[in-house]
Structure 1
Amino acid sequence: MTGSLVRLHRSSRLTASALLGTALMTLVPLSPAHARTLPAVGATAETAALYDDEAGGNADADDPAIWRNDADPERSLVVATAKEGGLRVYGLDASLVQSIPAPAAPSEDDAPGRFNNVDLVTGLRTPSGRADVAVVSDRGSDRLRIYRIDPSRPGRPLTDVTDPAAAPVFSAGQEEVNEQSTVYGLATWQDRRSGRSYALVSRRDATELALLELLPNASGTVGYRTVRTLALPSSFRLPDGTSWTPCGEPGELPQVEGMVVDPANGVLYAGQEDVGIWRIPATLDGRATLIDKVREYGVPGTYDPGTEECVPGADPGFGGKRLAADVEGLTLFQEPDGDGYLMASSQGDDTFALYDREVSERNEYEGGFRVTAVSDDLDGSEECDGAAVLNEPLGSRYPDGLLVVQDGHETSAPGAGDGREATGFKFVDLGAVVDAAGL
């Protein structure tokens, strides 16, 4: 979600200050107006709009993941979160295949389920064999939800296999769950050495990250256990010797949402929304490096309780050049030879930034692009929360792969001009992105 400047946190069991070293990459000087100069790519399809009101089922598009059906790529799926609206599953033509409601609240005084982010684990080792699953962060209940993907059920390919005994990740009980400092961002990871599967999650309104091991049971369900936690910094030393804390509502710290793990080296990339992109060992037991900063980095702000917004002060000029807060959906464009790109949604200026995956090269910035309107009936992507890339052929529709991005401002939706908040997902031919961005 967009924010004026930032957010805040609750303390965690492992602090970053003693364990994290911060090394900033050399920034390429670009004009703040560089967004207008980036190449534009049009979407090929869009999902039906989701509306965040009672008439629309309180559905709000957030984060997608792409599942490839290796046996029949034409029948691959896009799994996407809709917050209180639950989970949506789409075909490659962007049509709805399945809608899964979020869990109901335990009581009328408790928070209902609210699905925030989703990622996939392919070939999860279970007692009955390998399985592909979608893992979802349920912000409403502070839990993970796990869904098995079964292509033999074309109308209902996802089945809930969450262990009923799964406990809250960060909260001690329902009272804390209701405060909603709960699981937020999510990325999955399979350790190639051990074969174990994990989910990395962030905490809403906090800087805390947690590494959770997925635990398949003989009953066919999947639970999890916390391996360790880590807190990123909430304040920063600036080049002029002063200290800066991103502005946010009282009691909040600068949170992380967008996350992705590079399977080639077990590196987690985490987007601290009003700060920048961190590179951290996925095991959460090593050094964290801030590889790029948002433009607003270092800008002081004063919270106005009347407007519930942060009023920015003078920019001291310590920010980055190509990300405008919030930095959001992170995804990997993987190439067969092991090269490729880290892609980040620059929500504040409706662009996408590309970075080299080579850690030894300090994840150099490689360019960017925009997803823009094709027609009055097919608009672009604005205020993007989440994104997913799959650089593999997906049948005749997407032979060069697929990019799916959230559209936080669905201007072409019916009723969008009547004050209803509409969101959705845009499907983009990855070949067109490669050509436009010169990759």
Structure 2
Amino acid sequence: MRVAGVVVGALIVTLGVQPAYASELPGVTASAETAPNWDDDAGGNANADDPAIWIDTKHPERSVVLGTLKNGGLTVFDLTGKEVQRFATPPAPAPDQEPGRFNNVDLVGNLAVVTDRGRDQLRTYAVKAGRLTDVTSADAPLVFSKDTEEVQEQRTAYGLAATVVSGQPVVAVTRRSEIRVGFFRLVPDGKGKVTYRPITKVDLPSSFKLTDGSTWSPCEEPGDRPQLEGMVFDRTTNDLYAAQEDVGVWRIPLNGKPELLEKVREFGQPAAYNEETEECEPTGPVSPDAGKHLSADAEGLTIAYRHGVRTLYASSQGDSTFASYRIDRRRLVYRAGFQVADGPRTDGVQHSDGAAVTTESLGPLFPHGLFAVHDGENTPGDGDREGTNFKLVRLEKLP
């Protein structure tokens, strides 16, 4: 997540950019939220990021939502937003090495899988009756790094999505600051725990040919390449939808060629990295190849299934809105945009990173389904402390 990928304001207006303003889109309000998390030492350096919804099929009203909190670990909360369980990140394996840092979470059956970007591993939890038990193998390998020295560079496990392929749990994992997506199979370790084995990997482009014949690369921090984070598998096809933050949304078949289906508004626009502001700033006009509905970063992706219709929701982090698309075979057909606005029970959502959705009835609080999202600027704040949390929205409110 890089919230401010491109500076907006007078410079953009001068260059002719027409950014989307949240006020132009309909607003929905959340019905519940979690307690604030504080990204400082006093708050345990907890920074909310990505949710996942576990459904209790016998007692849907007892379903729970899982959420990653970076250094704050993994939280589990009920449908009122009350925390019922929390798991700490593992400590650094040795002095001068990185401790655990939980980034993304997803569910496959009754297994929850988390990317530990601090230690470049996957952690796995068994879920029963809404309670989690850590079943991570003590021998879990490094996901991308060749050794612990490379782990310290923090080009580690980042985004994550899970599915079932031929009866076996499979996860896709992105690499931080890189263009790689790795696919792994979850397997028993023979000691009552869960580990993983690599299947294959895909590298997406870092530069793109524009219609005028020129080549464009997204502006990134020095040394970084255009990374991916938000992902979701289509459970009906096992295609992976992956958000390359400064590029757009890809469809990646398990056996096939990746296809860029939706571009961000900044796609093709020249920009340069400003060392003083640590931001990418536009140096030229908007490209005719640009997308219309997502402002970089393109982030959390999730799919709702109802009556044979598949709806992909995407976080447009750059303008704090969301876009929904109907999945039509190999295309994304734009349906609507919306924002999660201030309401009587909660504040609104800004710079959302992760999202999860279900169309299942979860009892009286969410009778028609749930849309759970990360809020990158929870209010009210506490002085200069950075507050984040998760918001729970009734699905029927979405346009």
TM-score for the superposition, normalised by structure 2: 0.94
1:242-391 alignment to 2 at 5 Å?
Answer: 242-281=214-253, 283=254, 285-317=255-287, 318-335=289-306, 337-360=307-330, 362-375=331-344, 378-391=346-359
Q: Secondary structure at the match of 2:42?
A: helix
Contact 2:266 2:286 in 1 (8 A): no
In the aligned structure 2, how far is the partner of 1:365 from the partner of 1:315?
Answer: 24
What residue in structure 1 maps to residue 53 of structure 2?
A: 66
1:91-102 alignment to 2 at 5 Å?
Answer: 91-102=78-89
When the two chains are superposed, the root-mean-square deviation of aligned CA atoms in Å is 1.5
Deviation digits for residues 223-255 of structure 1, max 9, x if unmatched?
A: 101111110000111111111111112210000
Deviation at 1:220, TM superposition (A): 2.1
The correspondence for 2:152, drawn from 173, 178, 182, is: 178
Deviation at 1:316, TM superposition (A): 3.6
Deviation at 1:287, TM superposition (A): 1.2
The correspondence for 2:97, drawn from 107, 110, 114, is: 110
What residue in structure 2 maps to residue 134 of structure 1?
A: 112
The amino acid that maps onto 2:305 is: Q
In the aligned structure 1, how far is the partner of 2:247 from the partner of 2:3?
Answer: 12
Q: Secondary structure at the match of 2:20?
A: helix
The amino acid that maps onto 2:53 is: I
Deviation digits for residues 93-145 of structure 1, max 9, x if unmatched?
A: 100101110111112300110000000011xxxxxxxxx11000110011100
The amino acid that maps onto 2:317 is: Q
The amino acid that maps onto 1:367 is: A
The correspondence for 2:201, drawn from 214, 217, 229, is: 229
Deviation at 1:306, TM superposition (A): 2.8
In the aligned structure 1, how far is the partner of 2:89 from the partner of 2:21?
Answer: 40
In the aligned structure 2, how far is the partner of 1:328 from the partner of 1:68?
Answer: 24
What residue in structure 2 maps to residue 26 of structure 1?
A: none
In the aligned structure 2, how far is the partner of 1:429 from the partner of 1:304?
Answer: 41
TM-score for the superposition, normalised by structure 1: 0.86
The correspondence for 1:43, drawn from 16, 20, 30, is: 30
In the aligned structure 1, how far is the partner of 2:286 from the partner of 2:78?
Answer: 47
The amino acid that maps onto 1:420 is: R
Q: Secondary structure at the match of 1:357?
A: strand
Contact 1:298 1:315 in 2 (8 A): no
What residue in structure 2 maps to residue 2 of structure 1?
A: 2
Unaligned runs of 5+ in 2: 7-16
Identity %: 49
Deviation digits for residues 408-437 of structure 1, max 9, x if unmatched?
A: 001224x1xx1100000001011222xxx1
What residue in structure 2 maps to residue 396 of structure 1?
A: 364
Deviation at 1:211, TM superposition (A): 0.4
Contact 2:21 2:319 in 1 (8 A): no
The amino acid that maps onto 1:332 is: I
Q: Secondary structure at the match of 1:175?
A: helix
2:109 equivalent to 1:161: no
Q: Secondary structure at the match of 1:322?
A: coil
Deviation at 1:386, TM superposition (A): 0.4
What residue in structure 1 maps to residue 10 of structure 2?
A: none
In the aligned structure 1, how far is the partner of 2:162 from the partner of 2:20?
Answer: 35
The correspondence for 1:144, drawn from 115, 122, 125, is: 122
Contact 1:5 1:296 in 2 (8 A): no
Q: Secondary structure at the match of 1:250?
A: coil
Unaligned runs of 5+ in 1: 7-29, 123-131
